[in-house]
Structure 1
Amino acid sequence: MTTRPNELQRTERRALLIGKWSNLFMAFAGVTAALLSRSDAMLVDGLYSLVNFLSAIAATRIGARVGAPATRSRPWGHDFDEALYVTFRSLILIGVLVFALILSGIKIFTFFTGGTVPELVFGPIAVYAVVIVVICVALAINYQIAYRRSGKRSAILKTESRAAMIDGALSLGSGAVLLSLPYLQQTPLAPYVPIGDAVLVIVLVLLIIWQPLGSFRTTLADLAGVSAPSKTVSAVARASRALAREKGFKFHRAAVLQAGRMHFAGVYIDPQRPVEAREIDTFQETLAARLEDLIGPTRVEVVMTAKTGPLPPDPRE
């Protein structure tokens, strides 16, 4: 089932609108809980939600532009904006997590050098953790439903769904560990209870930071013009070869890039006979329609050439 651009935009807009205001509430709740409880973990959670709120605003605007027709200033359209969004969002999240790491490191250093570390107040933590986990689970479900309705083609919805699940896991893990700290008072770990909050933040950062690092690496490859996965390239080549055969053209090869939900396919053919430009336009439009049903929205460029043979391999391979 193919999801048309306008329908995809409406699906994204509805999901992101809910996410935007939910994350604003969670950001306010997180900062408030941090001030009342003196917990760095709650502060990090609140900042994470604030990033999600700001990202939802940007994502709504970007989602409305993706798939728009090319213009003089943007001859390839705005499709790479989606990959840029995911890239910079990942960088911001990495920055927030590194900030949390530094903050926790300072608290631990202060503790071991004889400084004063504020005691935690556990009441606000319990209330905050329960409320935020419920909201995050609901948001993750909302984004996942929207992502499936988009035909699993929206990198924005996929990213936001993961962010909501991470935020919920962060809140659940933070709340559970922090509320268990008082039970350590009768154990050999009692002297280290004051820095339990900081140790928790470090552990959570080390567990979570791989997700934005992975997203950053993937979208950076898209922006660098790295070829789409071999499965996608093979699908484009098969469809192009079949259509070329129908039209009596000789198919040479296909090159495919991907940026978010959009694919860019360069198809190299030799008509082997005189053709009108209109016939090539029809070939391009027909192939684009077939590829949309096959791999998703695709911008197709047809190159007529007598040169044969595949591209040379990467010298590093």
Structure 2
Amino acid sequence: MSEPTTPDLRPLEARALTLAMWGNLFMAVAGLAAGFLSNSNAIMMDGLFSLIGFASALLGRRISRRVEAGPDRLRPFGYAADEAIFITFRSLSLLGLVLFAVTNAAKNIFDYAMGTPPEPLIFGPMIGYFVIIGGTCLGLWLSHRRAWQKTGRTSDILRLEARASAFDGIITASAGVGLALIYLLRDGPLAVIAPVGDSIIVLFLCLTVIGQYFSGFRAGLGELAGVTAPPDRVALARRSLRPALSEDGGRLHDLSVMKTGRSFLVTAYYDPLRSVTAAEIDALNLRLIRDMREALPGSDVLLLVTGYPRRWPEDISPF
């Protein structure tokens, strides 16, 4: 089974996640404080996104320390699934926050339409907030992306955190632009909607990003359910196995590829067409793993000696 493939690069991932943890904590405190002082739901939502980012970076750092560890008594297939679990519940928590923000914004708009005006916005604390938080998001995005590239673009945790920092920056910038327009045009064309302009911005931003978070949740859930990897990865795995199996002279009946976090489990259903020893099968399996890891870093190959594909034929199956 798998062994750590890039142990020298794990400290780089840990440093990026540590920076993300403290950066998000700073943005969460700033967002909640600025949202309270300015009566802005958009800024408050931005702070809550950062609070989730802090919690996920803290958890992601712990997961990254052992995600490439091999199998043991507790986890016979290793710890790769922890990354998929992290991606799934990170996306789910963001979806929950988005749905909460949409509900709250819709309620404010409805109350305003029914004659209950919201508390007026206080624009003074907003200017410094948007400049500082926008720069922080940009710095975190650059840090995550650089670390992701240096670790071979294999870490789903770093990729998700880079994407989350980018979205956080986009949300912050969009909220800033929207609130600036409301401030400048509050006595003109936007006078009618200015009292709930903050809620309208929240509603628009949430509807913009909800698809992205749902896509991440569905991808993570698919990995946990054991869904087949994308077709290009399956084709790459098949090409990687072909030379060694051709030299061995047997027949490949079937091939399955499952992605779990940054790891791939490739199962080859192989008939050697001759009598073989366990040592020969082990040697072939180790060569397949070596060849596969050149194409898919962090992958494992499970070589099953069988005369059938992944499903038993109906005429011989007792079930």
Secondary structure at the counterpart of residue 70 of structure 1: coil
Query: Does structure 2 conserve the Cα–Cα contact (< 8 Å) formed by 1:125 and 1:179?
Result: no
Corresponding residue for residue 315 of structure 1? none
Separation in structure 1 between the aligned mates of residue 264 and residue 73 of structure 2, nearest angstrom: 20
**Structure 1, residues 241-285: CA drift from partner, whole Å, max 9, x if none?**
211122333322211100111000111111222222122112112
In the alignment, does 2:82 pair up with 1:85?
A: no
In the alignment, does 2:241 pair up with 1:279?
A: no
Q: Which amino acid aligns with 2:245?
A: A
Secondary structure at the counterpart of residue 10 of structure 1: helix
- The two structures, once aligned, show a CA RMSD in angstroms of 1.7
The alignment of Structure 1 onto Structure 2 pairs a total of residues equal to 310
Q: Which amino acid aligns with 1:50?
A: L
In the alignment, does 2:120 pair up with 1:115?
A: no
Separation in structure 2 between the aligned mates of residue 51 and residue 311 of structure 1, nearest angstrom: 46
Query: Does structure 2 conserve the Cα–Cα contact (< 8 Å) formed by 1:126 and 1:179?
Result: no
Gaps of 5+ in 2: 314-319
Query: Does structure 2 conserve the Cα–Cα contact (< 8 Å) formed by 1:20 and 1:53?
Result: yes
Q: CA deviation at 1:310?
A: 9.1
Q: CA deviation at 1:106?
A: 1.8
**Structure 1, residues 4-24: CA drift from partner, whole Å, max 9, x if none?**
331342221011011110000
TM-score (structure 2 length as normaliser): 0.93
Secondary structure at the counterpart of residue 209 of structure 1: helix
Corresponding residue for residue 15 of structure 1? 16
Corresponding residue for residue 240 of structure 1? 241
Secondary structure at the counterpart of residue 142 of structure 2: helix
Separation in structure 2 between the aligned mates of residue 182 and residue 309 of structure 1, nearest angstrom: 63
Separation in structure 2 between the aligned mates of residue 263 and residue 239 of structure 1, nearest angstrom: 13
Q: CA deviation at 1:309?
A: 9.3
Query: Does structure 1 conserve the Cα–Cα contact (< 8 Å) formed by 2:241 and 2:291?
Result: no
In the alignment, does 2:103 pair up with 1:102?
A: yes
Separation in structure 1 between the aligned mates of residue 8 and residue 175 of structure 2, nearest angstrom: 38
Query: Does structure 2 conserve the Cα–Cα contact (< 8 Å) formed by 1:36 and 1:121?
Result: yes
Separation in structure 1 between the aligned mates of residue 310 and residue 116 of structure 2, nearest angstrom: 70
Separation in structure 2 between the aligned mates of residue 88 and residue 276 of structure 1, nearest angstrom: 45
Separation in structure 2 between the aligned mates of residue 93 and residue 200 of structure 1, nearest angstrom: 18
Q: Which amino acid aligns with 1:159?
A: L
TM-score (structure 1 length as normaliser): 0.93
Separation in structure 1 between the aligned mates of residue 33 and residue 253 of structure 2, nearest angstrom: 62
Q: Which amino acid aligns with 1:86?
A: I
Q: CA deviation at 1:127?
A: 0.7
Identity %: 37
Q: CA deviation at 1:305?
A: 1.0
Q: CA deviation at 1:311?
A: 9.5
Corresponding residue for residue 212 of structure 2? 211
Query: Does structure 2 conserve the Cα–Cα contact (< 8 Å) formed by 1:223 and 1:259?
Result: yes
Q: CA deviation at 1:51?
A: 0.3
Q: Which amino acid aligns with 1:202?
A: L
